[in-house]
Structure 1
């Protein structure tokens, strides 16, 4: 079994709002192994994106501990890649220059790595294209390649396929799994889509409504490649759905009398 890469212990996070102090996460405990694919799902506002931002080192105001490869996370770094729902490409740069970002393609090592990533995300022939000439799925593939350029230990994905149509979304799921299998990069993927969560993950982490706490962790012991139409897939999908439905009941119970 692979060693633990990411260790989260008693992680809590609060925000100051116009209505007072709001707790977004409450004592979250989670260990993620090297090379694991984790999906995180839960109601809107349960702290999924906040959790990713803290892991990425974009938010240091929290209590608890979080370590990556045994080291405390103190800020952003090349060991953590982050992909947002929107691709955030530079419109004035070509595909290859967007992937290289602040590095020069004149550097032979950068050139080699960019070429490898273009092949990995299946964008051969589009090296000189600009973002306006790409489909949504192609643009997200560029964003994924850019995030992988510096070989991060963990790749954080915040609903990266949420704005795509169903066909493109399914295709991008296959592309991402192919990248994961080839690179064995640890991935943490936030989604609202149950099918997507089960299709991608080794484990599905289900968060309760605010303040976000782990309700359950569901192992997905299905071999890859997976088919969403199989009975075994549908059984796991139903299990996750029932756990999410129980969160609605919990929210109603907690809100009674308020």
Structure 2
């Protein structure tokens, strides 16, 4: 299976009066149609990895390739969904969804309406974001990301600000919608359970300077249901990952 994203020996230090060595010889990949999660201690450099992939700044060393092309320091090659939905309050739901398409010059409002209907948001096209719940707003933001032309999606804790029940509902909803599209995804979460439930593979990061401590193949077939969280294998993996994170954080 071809890789959408290939990172080789990435190194980065934030300079200044007190330099911070954030990444050290980090390598990872995301295959076409694969859902990969980064799991690591707070402050281990997960968001820095996203910023480097997105071209917000260049790494000190190493290479980042998307679909075989080097993107070090280059923007516009990814679709990004942050923790906050970042919807523009003065634009309708439909206009928020097609915003990225407007930037690229290829607006398809028919497709946008179809995806909003699949997201359970039919009838809200002319409404404004302030009438939507947190979960509904995140659905709009995810559909906006899906409609961007980039083949790689970076999801940075998109459910972190939601209450637990809404979060569980959004996990199921996102997986259902993702199954229709199968975009390559690199996902950040602090939840071991969420990582196991959502992912094909999990990459355990050390504390900074971050490197990949362990790669875990998630053994559960798709589509998934939250009943698997009661499975003995699920809970054994959850315990093993917790122990790895404890060791990685202590050794860092």
Unaligned stretches of 5+ in structure 2?
Answer: none
- Give 3-state SS (helix, strand or coil) of 1:228's partner: helix
For residue 161 of structure 1, the aligned residue among 159, 162, 170 is 159
User: Contact (CA 8 Å) 2:23, 2:45: kept in 1 or not?
Assistant: yes
For residue 47 of structure 2, the aligned residue among 46, 49, 56 is 49
Which residue does the alignment assign to 1:256?
A: none
How many equivalent pairs are there?
246
Scaled by the length of structure 2, the TM-score of the pair is: 0.92
Distance 1:149 1:160 in 2: 17
* 1:231 to partner: Cα distance: 1.5
- Give 3-state SS (helix, strand or coil) of 2:22's partner: strand
- Give 3-state SS (helix, strand or coil) of 1:50's partner: helix
Distance 2:172 2:199 in 1: 12
User: Contact (CA 8 Å) 2:101, 2:148: kept in 1 or not?
Assistant: no
* 1:45 to partner: Cα distance: 0.9
Which residue does the alignment assign to 1:216?
A: 214
Per-residue deviation, residues 55-80 of structure 1 (Å, max 9, x unmatched): 12222243101101100114221x41
Which residue does the alignment assign to 2:131?
A: 133
Summarize the Cα distance change of 1:88–1:71 in structure 2 as closer, same or farther, 3 Å threshold. same
Written as runs of structure 1 = structure 2, the 5 A alignment for 1:151-190 is 151-190=149-188
User: Contact (CA 8 Å) 2:189, 2:195: kept in 1 or not?
Assistant: yes
Which residue does the alignment assign to 1:23?
A: 21
* 1:108 to partner: Cα distance: 9.6
Aligned CA-pair RMSD: 1.7
- Deviating 4+ runs (over 6 angstroms): none
Which residue does the alignment assign to 1:231?
A: 232
For residue 118 of structure 2, the aligned residue among 120, 123, 144 is 120
Distance 1:31 1:42 in 2: 17
- Give 3-state SS (helix, strand or coil) of 1:155's partner: strand
Unaligned stretches of 5+ in structure 1?
Answer: 252-258
Summarize the Cα distance change of 1:51–1:128 in structure 2 as closer, same or farther, 3 Å threshold. same
User: Contact (CA 8 Å) 2:206, 2:249: kept in 1 or not?
Assistant: no
